[in-house]
Amino acid sequence: MPEYKAPLRDMRFLIDNVFDFHGHYAALGATDASPDMVNAILDEGAKFCENVLAPLNRSGDEEGCHFDNGVVTTPKGFKQAFAQYVEGGWHGVAADPAYGGQGLPQSLGLVLSEMIGSSNTSWGMYPGLTHGAMSAIHAHGTAEQKDTYLGKLTAGEWTGTMCLTEAHCGTDLGLIKTRAVPQADGSYAITGSKIFISAGEHDMSANIIHLVLAKLPDAPAGTKGISLFIVPKFHADSGARNAVHCGSIEHKMGIKGSATCVLNFDGARGFLIGEANKGLNCMFTMMNHARLGTGMQGLCNGEASFQGAIKYANDRLQMRSLTGAKAPEKAADPIIVHADVRRMLLTMKAFNEGNRALAYFTAQLLDTAHLSNDAGQRQDAEDLLAFLTPICKAFMTDTGLEVTNHGMQVFGGHGYIREWGMEQLARDARIAPIYEGTNGIQALDLLGRKVLGSQGKLLRGFTKIVHKFCAANAEHPQFKAHVAQLDQLNREWGELTTRVGMAAMKNPDEVGAAAVDYLMYSGYVVLAYLWLRMALAALEQPDADFAKAKLATCDFYFKRLLPRTATHRAAVEAGSECLMSLPAELFGL
């Protein structure tokens, strides 16, 4: 298994030099997030992840979770690691101080979550889902609900889930059958079955708080009739067991240390959160948190894979360089001298560092949306978040999967062997493009709801940022060509959007046909902007080697990866006819 080391040098580069987290925190009044505090979180978080979580990653995969008549036990060491995590105060880093949290900005919590996910994706699912539940209760719960649940959740005594999916419906939540019947005491009897519930049952906390989508007896049809309910495993008032039980756990391709459960609600006592029939709005608070977290998983597994691949490429001897021996004292040269190995490693490096920048850029928007006293700033941040969230989720997980596959390929046959750990990273990464809304759904959300649904407003909010950046750097002596390339793509982005929108007015299938390629095109342009920001900051770095690596990777991105936009643009422009013309009954012929 690759030995994970938190990439603190690159993290600090983004925090200190590219995005100026310290000035950002000062502007928001987040005085507790001092430079010393930030450094302490980075250093101590890295130690915990490297020394406690990473050693459990392979063993957790090999052992998996155990199911015994409704009781789920996590792999050896998981429960003890969670207790250590809670004792160290990590669980409440970005939580509300009113409920026992440290009240630090959301971006610091996200930086910590990167280290957790990179060291042990499966283990990170447990606190990750809890943070999502906390955000939904904090945003939509009553004062009594907040007082009842948030303190215990923040302390890590209780954990949380979100329960959406049912066996007969995945993304189409309007089809759910789980029912909520009002009771005389103001509670509801929840009856139904949910599947694919991450952390739905386990032994790591004393209680599990489920956030469950269900329909009232008189609910309107479809998604307009969905309500959200808090359903605890054990009642908060009496401690008695509620009528919710785990029917089984899934036998999965990856993230085997994370319990993915079937949960059966048999008249379980639940409590309405938010307004009746407005549950999907409440759940989106949790889902958007989860989507950003899922996007991070693409980066996390990619980072772990790259660390394994770069070490192997420097150690493994195979053939001689085409330009002459580079290690003549050895039997062969290390494979890092070969152009194709470098292609894979630079692709991994470019996506990992670009996706990290995207995650941290988005995290700053979360801070502004939560902490700014300026209503205009908050709205601008929320609009950018709405636009970037599906890109983060889909682009980062698709490219993260590409990165982990490259990592296996660098190892050759050894990459396919369990003992080296690279195949686990690929298996763990494979779920990320699927859950929290498949990447196809994210693409429809981006193009259909966020871009066309806002008449282009949300897109323009970002393209204006890029336009101003390009105008300011158009004559930069070192990056003039790259800036011009970005500026052209940024203009083309709006034109491409207009063409899709016009075509969709005649045929709605045009949106579905274009969506995935449109999202990937968008992701490449977003990363190009961020890579140029990193390159400019790298020029000011006193560490010449770090700056050289950053500038070379930026150049590689613009010359070898950004041209992929041409393919995605061509696919968008191809339209829907070539997708929709073949009758369904002819697909098998």
Which residues does the annotation mark as catalytic? 436
> Within 10 A of 554 (CB to CB), how many other CB atoms are there?
24
> Within 10 A of 34 (CB to CB), how many other CB atoms are there?
13
Q: Is 137 exposed, middle or buried (0-12, 13-18, 19+ CB in 10 A)?
A: buried
> Within 10 A of 506 (CB to CB), how many other CB atoms are there?
8
243 to each of 130, 230, 239, 266, 337, how far by Cα in Å? 21, 13, 13, 5, 61
Both tokens of 414, joined, read 């050894």
Cα–chain center distance at 63: 25
Q: How far is Cα 404 from Cα 253, in angstroms, rounded to an integer?
A: 15
Task: Tell me which amino acid residue 300 is.
Answer: C
Beta carbons within 8 Å of 324's beta carbon, 6+ residues apart: none
Cβ(392)–Cβ(295) below 8 Å: yes
Q: How far is Cα 12 from Cα 35, in angstroms, rounded to an integer?
A: 11
User: Can you tell me whether residue 182 is helix, strand or coil?
Assistant: strand
Q: How far is Cα 215 from Cα 462, in angstroms, rounded to an integer?
A: 37
Cβ(165)–Cβ(212) below 8 Å: no
Contacts 24+ apart (CB under 8 A), 332-340: 335/410, 336/310
Residue labelled with tokens 């009594």? 144
Cβ(269)–Cβ(87) below 8 Å: no
Alpha helices in 447-479 (DSSP H): 457-472
Question: Using alpha carbons only, what angle is made at residue 508 by residues 504 and 514, rounded to the nearest 5 degrees?
Answer: 70
Q: How far is Cα 447 from Cα 381, in angstroms, rounded to an integer?
A: 19
Both tokens of 114, joined, read 């990167």
Cα–chain center distance at 326: 40
Three-class secondary structure assignment of 322-379: CCCCCCCCCCCCEHHHCHHHHHHHHHHHHHHHHHHHHHHHHHHHHHHHHHCCCHHHHH
